[in-house]
Amino acid sequence: MARLMYSSKINKIRSFALILIFAGILLMYGGILTKGIDWLVAIFFILGVLMILLSCVVYVWIGTLSLKAIPIICPNCEKPTKMLGRVDACMHCKQTLTLDKDLEGKEFDEKYNTRKYRREANKSK
Ligand SMILES: [Zn+2]
């Protein structure tokens, strides 16, 4: 059976920020390749700088998220990891984790973090 791999949210956001930096650098590099066309160079350069700035913002955001995340010891690999939301995955071994006893043993699903699900869960209580 094919199992979907869930990576921890912090790792996901971190790789997104990394991709943004690379995209920004590539765009600026693209600007260098279009030598001669001033406005094109300017557009590439501005887009590249914007992407790198955005990734800085994302990095700051990860920082604040990490502060809010709950540090726990993963039951699977016994390494310290951080959790965001009701369900998340271990940063090291991708073990799915939950803080909610009601969700224990259930198939991991990102929907448990959404407001809609929380509202429905409260209604059924
Ligand atoms: Zn683990």
45 and 93, same domain (yes or no): no
- The number of distinct structural domains making up the chain is 2
Read off the pLDDT of residues 7-57 as tens digits, 9 standing for 90 and up: 778 888 889 999 999 999 999 888 888 877 888 888 888 999 999 999 999
Q: What is the pLDDT of residue 1?
A: 35
Read off the pLDDT of residues 62-100 as tens digits, 9 standing for 90 and up: 888 888 888 889 888 999 988 888 888 888 888 888 877
84 Cα to the center of ligand 1, angstroms: 15
2 in a structural domain: no
pLDDT band at 2 (very low <50, low <70, confident <90, very high): very low
6 Cα to the center of ligand 1, angstroms: 12
Q: Whole-angstrom Cα distance, residue 11 to residue 7? A: 7
Of residues 12 and 4, which shows the higher confidence score? 12
Where does 43-113 show beta strands of DSSP type E?
Answer: 70-73, 80-83, 87-89, 96-98
CA 39 from chain centre, in angstroms, equals 34
Residue 73 near residue 32 (C-beta atoms within 8 A): no
78 Cα to the center of ligand 1, angstroms: 6
Domain limits at 95? 70-123
Q: What is the pLDDT of residue 3?
A: 46
Q: Whole-angstrom Cα distance, residue 2 to residue 103? A: 22
